[in-house]
């Protein structure tokens, strides 16, 4: 284990071959790159942006140590380029939407303005951080939406793709909506709530389930959640748990949190039966926690069946975003040496939006809900003191007019680095989580629906639309 | 970014609450835990074991620093337990199959024998390392199997679940069969081959595609792979690449590796057309690299269509194991205080195998192929000097008799730690990869088929079978 963590070589080899090419060719012109994604994961109506704090840490720490240089020399890189890397420091600007923002496909979320070599070198690590955390934050938003106000805990470390996937995945899960995590390192690093109870092995290490429960409750009277399915949930686990809870009450212990955890079998049936048994024993305040391969679909189904579950523990399906384990953010050049650039494609969806841009969010004045997003050129003045006509970038005949006074504007990207200097304070995870909750509140219910949600309108300004058409014409190759 | 990497708190909170319970209760008895999995990912016929080196590093570095203790104090842990943690050191034994081994469901792959508190504390991190790397190694084995001898490069860092998922995922991909990776940090840490070319942005930063190609080939004459789909693959990219390759030949440059990369469109059609164009230009030695959302199914289909592809670059679908992004290894107690233990379940597949066990592989004497695996109790003598009757653990009427002299035995798990001391040298990744290739060669073709492979027989010894039946009866609760 390399205990000193040096991530500067966390990149694709071609970023370095290109960088050497730019260096040797003396190409120092400024480029602008946009980070954006094309489709919401799991067909959700939106995504939750996350990972910016790790981007900042990476950029702040980006330097090539002698051992990195030495390694690159063995890979055939030229001395002139290695000399350049030895003194490397990021000197450009970075703009980004804040973590926890609700975002939509095709809009710029993060923008890098820097000499092309520098901007290019950030591509892979930035995508790595954002693709991971935006994925898990979005999945967590779906799962907590399904839980309809019940708490969801992240329990997936053992199935995460290595330590970082566990630690930063839990961070993103909390940003996306989870109340806490079982991951102790995430708790320590980010100050988020950690929780957990015991495993089957605890029960198996005692002569009897009853003794195991009693010992656990003695040790943790304020979070005595007993796992009841080691032998038989309703015949053994729940009766033994009830016995122990009654003993606690008899001893006058007023527990903050106590109850049972179901981890196998028919959770709808078992939770209803267990609820009855607990209630009949006068333990209305005992909670029922459920885990075992849960995701948003199973939680929705449990709700529909009237399952009596107070708290969900979600592991594999959240920490891997099981049914959609990649967030497809890409990083594309939109300007080079002050010239707007476009990447063409046979598929119009894959064409990029040229030019140095900004992202403006349009809110309905009365409801406070998001009405649409508008991508405009950086220097365009977009003001709310006139009627605003929105049109669909693809089906341009679809237009909507927003009357002056009925809408509000908000510029979404904030400066993070200016000429290489960090100008942004990353909020604590708890603040980001709170901001994300407000962001989700600003979305109409139809955009949060888990299946077939409304698609948020993401408009191009007239000027940007015209620029794009012009560049498509100029760059077109006859088929 | 915490640059000093301390992973000791990389665990589920409940491991620590249980540990405190064991500590306070004074439970110091030895326990045995097995790490095993229940189903092959992607319905493969086997899995490739990986991640042991990271397990070793974790155990070697496992200690609780003052800042960990301080954090746990804020979480309500007792001083007596914190004192214990302050002096914590792993003192037990660990046995494991070597990395790169071909393995099958339900057999013990790694075994921990230690005082229960210590053994329990290893659960989450060990599962995290193994679940991640065995998953990616197995997916890489499937993808390289589909490539039928053509090289496969791992290109997925930008879509990996954070830095570790990229770095260790690429390590596992190479163990599973990839020839190299684009991930520079993996190259540096593990000495594996790194490679890559250039992106669309390289082309877009030049006045013309031709100039971009020429500059790239000038800089990297020995790995001049030109990306030909920025504008139009067959009308612009391939003709420009041919022009540059001819210029190279005219200059007398004898390139080690040159060719084109296709990254969009119909790869079967484009590769065949490009091959014709290259051949007609006398560039039979130019290679064609293909990338763009490849996986084992698309590669198989490209092969069937006679696509002219020499080298595959595989990203998202490999580094996330997209269609099956979790490896379900679990860690279950099989013995406590010298008593064999079983975890019952309504589902017979989920019952554990009790007792301290070993894993023996049975090879066909003539072909050298794996015939079956046998799980036996640790102290059983299994020798090859008699006929061996294999029976199916579930369908016990299915038996096979192997005649003495027709089979060979091999004990799969090696000692890794003995009384806390490391007694095993982790091989280099290149050696592990070579071993994994041999392991795959010892599997019959029908086990390596991508769809509906044969299921390897994993037998229980008579003694283990009897023990299991006895414990099921003893622990059964009447329904």
Q: For residue B276, what is the domain's CATH number?
A: 3.20.20.70
Higher per-residue pLDDT: B281 or B474:
B281
Query: Which of B31, B120, B326 is closest, CB to CB, to A316?
Result: B326
Q: How many contacts does A have with B, using Cβ atoms within 8 A?
A: 335
CB < 8 Å from B in window 189-218 of A: 189, 194-202, 204-205, 215-216
Q: Is B128 on the interface with A (CB under 8 A)?
A: yes
B361 and B312 in one domain? no
Q: How confident is the model at residue B2 (pLDDT cuts 50, 70, 90)?
A: very low
Asked whether B352 and B332 are in contact (CB, 8 A), the reply is yes
Statement: residue A479 has pLDDT above 60? no
Asked whether B241 and B248 are in contact (CB, 8 A), the reply is no
B287 and B242 in one domain? yes
Instruction: Please give, rounded to a whole number of angstroms, the shortest distance from the CA of A443 to a CA of chain B.
Output: 27
Q: How confident is the model at residue A1 (pLDDT cuts 50, 70, 90)?
A: very low
Three-class SS state of A201? helix
List chain A residues with CB under 8 Å of B214: none
Q: Does residue A11 form part of some domain?
A: no
Across the range A449-458, mean pLDDT stands at 95
Q: Is A9 on the interface with B (CB under 8 A)?
A: yes
B181 and B268 in one domain? yes
Q: Which residue of B has its CA nearest to A74?
A: B188
Among residues B319, B341, B371, the one where a domain terminates is B319
B313 and B199 in one domain? yes
* Predicted pLDDT of residue B346: 65
B307 and B172 in one domain? yes
B176 and B298 in one domain? yes
Query: Which of B155, B158, B164 is closest, CB to CB, to A163?
Result: B164
B283 and B203 in one domain? yes
Statement: residue A269 has pLDDT above 50? yes
Among residues B319, B348, B366, the one where a domain terminates is B319
| Most B-contacting residue of A2, A4, A12, A339 (CB-CB within 10 A), to test interface | A12
* Predicted pLDDT of residue A80: 96
Q: Which residue of A has its CA nearest to B266?
A: A346
Q: Is A287 on the interface with B (CB under 8 A)?
A: no
* Predicted pLDDT of residue A400: 85
Q: pLDDT tens across A108-141, in order?
A: 999 999 999 999 999 999 999 999 999 999 999 9
Share of chain B above pLDDT 70, in %: 98
Q: Is B120 on the interface with A (CB under 8 A)?
A: yes
List chain A residues with CB under 8 Å of B265: 346
| Most B-contacting residue of A8, A171, A201 (CB-CB within 10 A), to test interface | A201
* Predicted pLDDT of residue A475: 79
B369 and B221 in one domain? no
Inter-chain touch A20–B219, beta carbons under 8 Å: yes
**How far is A162 from B136, CA to CA, in rounded Å?**
11
Statement: residue A3 has pLDDT above 60? no
Statement: residue B3 has pLDDT above 50? no
Instruction: Please give, rounded to a whole number of angstroms, the shortest distance from the CA of B92 to a CA of chain A.
Output: 18
Q: Which residue of B has its CA nearest to A231?
A: B344
B298 and B207 in one domain? yes
The residue with tokens 């370095």 is A16
List chain A residues with CB under 8 Å of B5: 1-5
Q: Does residue A397 form part of some domain?
A: yes
* Predicted pLDDT of residue A280: 98
Q: Is A71 on the interface with B (CB under 8 A)?
A: yes
Q: Which tokens is A259 given?
A: 């109850």
Q: Is A131 on the interface with B (CB under 8 A)?
A: yes
Q: Does residue B287 form part of some domain?
A: yes
* Predicted pLDDT of residue B127: 98
Share of chain A above pLDDT 90, in %: 87
CB < 8 Å from B in window 311-340 of A: 316, 320-322, 325-328, 332-333, 336
B401 and B262 in one domain? no
Three-class SS state of B375? strand
Asked whether A265 and A234 are in contact (CB, 8 A), the reply is no
* Predicted pLDDT of residue B1: 33
Q: If you compute the radius of gyration of chain B from its CA atoms, what whole number of angstroms results?
A: 26
Number of domains chain B contains? 2
Across the range B148-155, mean pLDDT stands at 96
* Predicted pLDDT of residue B250: 95
Helix boundaries (H) for A88-122:
116-121
* Predicted pLDDT of residue A4: 46
Higher per-residue pLDDT: B312 or B383:
B312
Q: pLDDT tens across A14-53, in order?
A: 999 999 999 999 999 999 999 999 999 999 999 999 999 9
Average pLDDT, chain A: 94
B414-418 and B258-262 beta bridge pairing: unpaired
Q: Is B80 on the interface with A (CB under 8 A)?
A: no
B366 and B314 in one domain? no
Helices vs. strands in chain B: H and E counts, helices first: 17, 21
* Predicted pLDDT of residue B394: 67
CB < 8 Å from B in window 22-51 of A: 22, 24-25, 27, 29, 31, 33
Q: pLDDT tens across A382-397, in order?
A: 988 999 988 776 677 7
List chain B residues with CB under 8 Å of A16: 184
Q: Which residue of A has its CA nearest to B237?
A: A477
Asked whether B146 and B299 are in contact (CB, 8 A), the reply is yes
Q: Is B54 on the interface with A (CB under 8 A)?
A: yes
Domain of B194, in residue numbers: 148-319
| Most A-contacting residue of B1, B5, B6, B12 (CB-CB within 10 A), to test interface | B12
Q: Does residue A347 form part of some domain?
A: no
Q: Does residue B226 form part of some domain?
A: yes
* Predicted pLDDT of residue A133: 98
B261 and B397 in one domain? no
Interacting residues of A315 by C-beta distance below 8 A, sequence separation 6+: A154, A155, A156, A158, A159, A291, A293, A294
Instruction: Please give, rounded to a whole number of angstroms, the shortest distance from the CA of A371 to a CA of chain B.
Output: 31
Q: pLDDT tens across B27-50, in order?
A: 999 999 999 999 999 999 999 999
Q: Does residue A472 form part of some domain?
A: yes
B258-262 and B287-290 beta bridge pairing: parallel
First CA to last CA distance, chain B: 54
* Predicted pLDDT of residue A329: 98
Among residues B299, B319, B339, the one where a domain terminates is B319
* Predicted pLDDT of residue A394: 67
**How far is B167 from B157, CA to CA, in rounded Å?**
8
Q: Which residue of A has its CA nearest to B167?
A: A10
Inter-chain touch A161–B158, beta carbons under 8 Å: no
Statement: residue B341 has pLDDT above 90? yes
Q: pLDDT tens across A194-239, in order?
A: 998 889 989 988 999 999 999 999 988 988 999 999 889 999 999 9
CA angle in degrees (0–180, nearest 5) for B466-B469-B473: 140
Asked whether B133 and B172 are in contact (CB, 8 A), the reply is yes
Statement: residue A2 has pLDDT above 50? no
* Eight-state DSSP code of residue A337: T
Across the range B137-165, mean pLDDT stands at 97
Q: Is B245 on the interface with A (CB under 8 A)?
A: no
Asked whether A171 and A429 are in contact (CB, 8 A), the reply is yes
* Predicted pLDDT of residue A263: 93
**How far is B78 from B71, CA to CA, in rounded Å?**
12
User: Which residues pair with residue B225 across a beta bridge?
Assistant: B259
Across the range A174-185, mean pLDDT stands at 97
List chain B residues with CB under 8 Å of A230: 343-344
Q: Does residue A460 form part of some domain?
A: yes
Q: pLDDT tens across B342-401, in order?
A: 987 766 777 899 999 999 999 999 999 999 999 999 999 998 899 998 877 667 777 889
Across the range B428-440, mean pLDDT stands at 98
Q: Does residue A190 form part of some domain?
A: no
């Amino acid at each position: 284990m390399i205990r000193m963590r040096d991530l500067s070589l966390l990149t694709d080899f071609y970023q370095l071959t290109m960088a050497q090419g730019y260096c040797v060719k003396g190409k120092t012109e400024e480029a602008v790159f946009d980070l954006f994604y094309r489709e919401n994961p799991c067909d959700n109506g939106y995504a939750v942006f996350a990972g910016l704090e790790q981007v900042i840490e990476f950029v702040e720490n980006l330097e090539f140590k002698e051992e990195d240089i030495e390694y690159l020399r063995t890979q055939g890189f030229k001395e002139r380029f290695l000399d350049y890397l030895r003194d490397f420091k990021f000197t450009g600007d970075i703009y980004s939407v804040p973590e926890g923002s609700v975002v939509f496909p095709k809009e710029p979320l993060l923008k890098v303005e820097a000499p092309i070599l520098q901007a290019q070198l950030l591509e892979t690590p930035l995508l790595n951080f954002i693709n991971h955390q935006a994925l898990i934050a979005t999945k967590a938003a779906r799962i907590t939406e399904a839980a309809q106000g019940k708490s969801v805990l992240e329990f997936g470390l053992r199935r995460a793709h290595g330590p970082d996937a566990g630690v930063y995945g839990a961070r993103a899960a909390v940003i996306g909506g989870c109340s806490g995590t079982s991951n102790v390192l995430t708790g320590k690093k980010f100050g988020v709530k950690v929780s957990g109870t015991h495993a089957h092995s605890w029960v198996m290490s005692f002569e009897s389930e009853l003794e195991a429960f009693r010992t656990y409750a003695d040790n943790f009277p304020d979070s005595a959640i007993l796992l009841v399915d080691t032998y038989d949930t309703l015949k053994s686990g729940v009766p033994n748990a009830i016995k122990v809870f009654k003993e606690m009450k008899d001893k006058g212990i007023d527990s903050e949190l106590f109850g049972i955890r179901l981890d196998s079998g028919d959770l709808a049936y078992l939770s209803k039966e267990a609820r009855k048994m607990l209630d009949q024993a006068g333990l209305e305040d005992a909670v029922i926690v459920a885990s075992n391969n849960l995701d948003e679909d199973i939680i929705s189904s449990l709700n529909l069946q009237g399952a009596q579950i107070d708290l969900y523990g979600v592991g594999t399906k959240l920490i891997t975003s099981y049914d959609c384990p990649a967030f497809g953010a890409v990083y594309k050049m939109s300007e080079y040496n002050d010239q707007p650039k476009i990447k063409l494609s046979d598929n119009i969806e894959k064409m990029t939006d040229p030019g140095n841009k900004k992202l403006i969010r349009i809110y309905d004045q009365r409801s406070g809900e998001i009405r649409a997003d508008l991508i405009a050129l950086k220097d365009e003045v977009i003001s709310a003191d006139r009627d605003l006509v929105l049109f669909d970038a693809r089906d341009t005949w679809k237009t909507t007019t927003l009357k002056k006074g009925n809408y509000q504007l908000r510029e979404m990207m904030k400066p993070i680095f200016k000429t290489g200097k960090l100008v942004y304070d990353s909020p604590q995870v708890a603040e980001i989580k709170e901001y994300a909750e407000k962001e989700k509140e600003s979305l109409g219910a139809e955009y949060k629906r888990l299946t077939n949600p409304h698609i948020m309108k993401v408009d191009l300004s007239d000027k940007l639309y015209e620029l794009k058409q012009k560049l498509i014409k100029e760059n077109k190759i006859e088929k």
